[in-house]
Amino acid sequence: MKKVLFILLALFLLVGCGEEKPKEEVFHVGVLQLVQHEALDNATKGFKDALVDKLGDKVVFDDQNAAGEPANCATIANQFVAEDVDLIFANATPALQACVNATADIPIVATSVTAFKVALDIDNWTGTTGINVTGTSDLAPLDQQAAQVLELVPDAKKVSIFFCSAEANSVFQADEIEKHLAALGLETKRFSFADSNDIAQVALNASEWGDVIYVPTDNTAASYASADQFSKPGIAGEAGICKKVGVATISITYYDIGYRAGEMAYEILVNGADPATMKCEEVTNTTKMFNPELCERYNIEVPADYVAID
């Protein structure tokens, strides 16, 4: 009997030693940011902070920046697919479009996308994409930004709309802001540029025609436009652009939309949420902001409910 017990104990110990302790899962997340500038940088930081807050060291990031080139976006997206990452974070519309073209299987969470229905060419938009994509929008309250023109420059009659024609999100904003400005009795004219090489000349033309210049949330403008290129006050789509070329904006917070995108990514990675049925979310919290230096340059009197941009 003792011999039998000894054999059973030996077998138990042998089996126990042979079992491997299950490894804790580490998620591999590809981060594709279109270009480096303040708004997108803040969105990426928010996204990564959210996942680290929830997962600690159980998440690793492969950070890639496309330097503003759509071709680079495609290369990076395909690289993530080849690496079989667990999830892709696409920061800005061209980054999202490249990722969608690269994979229909890997979950994609995007941010800094003005309109998902435009970026993904979706008809009958219901708030969800129906594919492996969800995320957060950076669409600003365009009607309120249009009203800022007359609030800050009450004698304005003509507004130049300055945007990159190669960015679908910028074209969408140009279309929408025109409607709001027209409803206020303001004349508008579009001044578009194809890439950074055209910005200086187009800015000059826009300044010569308009009393005010409207600059939407545009990645090319955010990266390459400067106040010295303009001779008229500008209303900007967000705080980062306003800091460079605008007198005022009503801005979202890019860190916040990035953080929310990170929370959505967690739900997908850990709880099995389906991005196809997750609502693409829009910003609700905005802040009236002004650029003290440019307001002084153009003698703009700023109402008390505006916050100065650092």
Examine the pLDDT at 184 and tell me if it is beyond 80: yes
**Per-residue pLDDT at 11 exceeds 70:** no
Query: What is the average pLDDT across 10-29?
Result: 60
The DSSP line for 212-238 is EEEE-S-HHHHHH--GGG-SS-EEESS
Predicted pLDDT at 285: 86
Is the confidence at residue 22, as pLDDT, over 70? Answer: no
> What pTM was computed for the model?
0.83
- Domain for residue 293, yes or no? yes
Tokens of 274: 């389906």
Q: Is residue 16 part of a domain?
A: no
In the predicted structure, residue 7 carries a pLDDT above the cut 60: no
The answer, yes or no, to whether residue 16 has pLDDT greater than 90, is no
Cα 58 to the center of its chain, rounded Å: 25
Residue 64 falls in which region: left (phi positive, over 0), alpha (psi -120 to 50) or beta: beta
Average pLDDT, stretch 261-275?
98
Range of the domain at 180: 142-251+287-308
Residue 270 pLDDT greater than 90, yes or no? yes
Residue-wise pLDDT tens digits, 159-174: 999 999 998 889 999 9
Q: Are residues 217 and 294 in the same domain?
A: yes
**Residues 76, 168 within the same domain:** no
Inside any domain, residue 211: yes
Q: How many domains does the chain have?
A: 2
pLDDT tens for each residue of 215-238: 999 989 999 999 999 999 999 999
Reported as a single tens digit per residue, the pLDDT across 64-81 is 999 999 999 999 999 999
User: Is 61 inside any structural domain?
Assistant: yes
Give me the DSSP letters along 64-110.
Answer: EE-TT-HHHHHHHHHHHHHHT-SEEEEESHHHHHHHHHH-SSS-EEE
pLDDT at 23: 54
